[in-house]
């Protein structure tokens, strides 16, 4: 399914030609960073702490409580600003961000440097070319960066118009990749009513962390739509590609509400070889749409709603109808596990329930539901 990655805006990677961008590697092609060797078998945090050029970034990651996240399995792509990049911010900015009361704001800034994918530099040049010279990069923090070419170099433009250049690309990690940049990327300012000033929003991060589970290595925001959240999940790149191919983006960005049972990439990979590639062909759009809408139900049905209805039925099954017009059933095991049955009788478990959206709810499942 890796060839499907280029169809989603989850991917952000960096291509940089020129000898100055790539320092000598200690092993496996990894450059030195901040005077230290970078080890491909260590995680992002384990490597970053050794870079003399990233002490401010490491301090910020610790203050934001993101050490465990960035030490996790990921994969992540991190655009890592140097100390000099932080020093270039207005006087006092870093000190203010590091205060405990500004943790949400700091987290927002840092996660605008993280993409929920392992995005190496050998893909981005083609993506920029395919997208007409500018490729959108959706970050874990909800920011959208603009990747462009500047001669042989890649630049990233943030939501304030600031432009960062990649100075060291493709620093491989055990849980992703780091690309060193020369500017701190900032989210768009959010103005309060009647206020001529602006402050970076912190509500999205708090909402994601407080109410919603992480999905595919990315926070899910309850004030964003199903598509706006799905594009950030590294576990749902195939589903997103399929939704785009079927022309369902506008529908699933609509008011709804919708309940979506969202198969993972691994779920799609369990289908017979060649099935996904065949479904993504333009001539098979109707069939693809039929399958995708079989995963969508009108209304906002929480896991508790589904469980209650299943337990209330005589046979232990809750029967309902998908947007496609086909039948689905749900059953709860004595241990509380929820399974969704398709018309073929195959059952798939809800692995992550109740991912709240502004226009409904997502329940992650471990298989692709197929109508008869």
Task: Encode pLDDT of 132-152 as tens digits.
Answer: 888 888 888 888 899 888 888
Residues 240/244/248/250 CA torsion (nearest 10 deg)? 100
Residues 176 and 47 in one domain: yes
> Does residue 370 sit within a domain?
no
pLDDT in tens, 243-269: 999 999 999 999 889 999 999 999 999
**SS3 annotation, 324-350:** CCCEEEEEECCCCCEEEECCCCCEEEE
Residues 175 and 225 in one domain: no
User: What local confidence, expressed as pLDDT, does residue 136 receive?
Assistant: 87
Residues 167 and 28 in one domain: yes
Residue 310 has pLDDT above 60, yes or no: yes
> Does residue 112 sit within a domain?
yes
* Domain interval for residue 87: 2-181
Residues 136 and 41 in one domain: yes
Mean pLDDT of the residues in the chain: 84
Q: What are phi and psi of 176, to 5 degrees?
A: 145, -140
Residue 143 Cα distances to 127, 138, 228, 294, 330, angstroms: 19, 6, 11, 31, 36
Residue 78 has pLDDT above 50, yes or no: yes
Residue predicted with more confidence, 2 or 316: 316
Backbone dihedral region for residue 153 (phi beyond 0: left; psi -120 to 50: alpha; all else: beta): beta
**What is the number of structural domains in the chain?**
2
| Contacts of 289 by beta carbon, 8 Å cutoff, 6+ apart | 246, 247, 248
CATH of the domain at 150: 2.30.180.10
Q: Indicate whether this model's pTM tops 0.85.
A: no
Cα end-to-end distance, the chain, whole Å:
25
Residue 271 has pLDDT above 90, yes or no: yes
Decide the pairing of beta strands 76-81 and 176-181.
parallel
Residues 225 and 164 in one domain: no
User: What local confidence, expressed as pLDDT, does residue 26 receive?
Assistant: 42
Residues 277 and 130 in one domain: no
pLDDT in tens, 210-232: 468 888 888 888 889 999 999 98
CA distance 43 to 172: 9
User: What local confidence, expressed as pLDDT, does residue 101 receive?
Assistant: 87
Decide the pairing of beta strands 258-263 and 296-298.
antiparallel
> Does residue 202 sit within a domain?
no
Predicted confidence band at 171 (pLDDT cuts at 50, 70, 90)? Answer: very high
């Amino acid at each position: 399914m890796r060839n499907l990655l280029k169809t989603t805006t989850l991917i952000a990677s960096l291509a940089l030609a020129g000898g100055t961008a790539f320092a000598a590697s200690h092993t496996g092609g990894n450059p030195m960073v901040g005077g230290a060797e970078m080890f491909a078998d260590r995680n992002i945090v384990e490597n970053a702490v050794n870079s003399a050029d990233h002490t401010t970034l490491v301090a910020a990651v610790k203050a934001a409580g993101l050490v465990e996240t960035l030490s996790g399995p990921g994969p992540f792509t991190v655009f890592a600003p140097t100390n000099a990049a932080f020093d270039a911010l207005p006087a006092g900015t870093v000190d203010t961000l590091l205060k405990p009361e500004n943790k949400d704001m700091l987290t927002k800034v840092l996660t605008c440097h993280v993409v929920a994918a392992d995005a190496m530099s050998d893909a981005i040049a083609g993506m920029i070319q395919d997208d007409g010279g500018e490729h959108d990069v959706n970050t874990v923090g909800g920011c959208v960066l603009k990747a462009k070419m500047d001669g042989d170099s890649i630049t990233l433009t943030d939501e304030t118009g600031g432009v960062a250049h990649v100075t060291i690309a493709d620093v491989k990690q055990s849980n992703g990749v780091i690309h060193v940049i020369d500017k701190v990327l900032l989210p768009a300012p959010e103005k309060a009513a009647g206020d001529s000033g602006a402050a970076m929003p912190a509500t999205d991060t708090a909402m994601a962390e407080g109410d919603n589970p992480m999905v595919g290595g990315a926070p899910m925001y309850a004030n964003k739509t199903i598509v706006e959240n799905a594009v950030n999940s590294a576990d749902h790149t195939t589903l997103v590609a399929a939704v785009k191919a079927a022309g369902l983006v506008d529908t699933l960005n609509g008011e709804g509400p919708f309940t979506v049972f969202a198969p993972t990439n691994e779920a799609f990979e369990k289908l017979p070889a060649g099935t996904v590639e065949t479904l993504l062909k333009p001539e098979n759009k109707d069939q693809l749409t039929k399958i995708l809408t079989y995963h969508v139900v009108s209304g906002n049905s929480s896991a508790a709603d589904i469980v209650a209805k299943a337990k209330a039925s005589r046979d232990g099954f809750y029967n309902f109808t998908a947007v496609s017009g086909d039948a689905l059933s749900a059953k709860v095991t004595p241990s509380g596990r929820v399974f969704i049955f398709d018309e073929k009788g195959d059952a798939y478990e809800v692995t992550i329930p109740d991912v709240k959206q502004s226009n409904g709810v997502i329940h992650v499942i471990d298989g692709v539901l197929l109508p008869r």
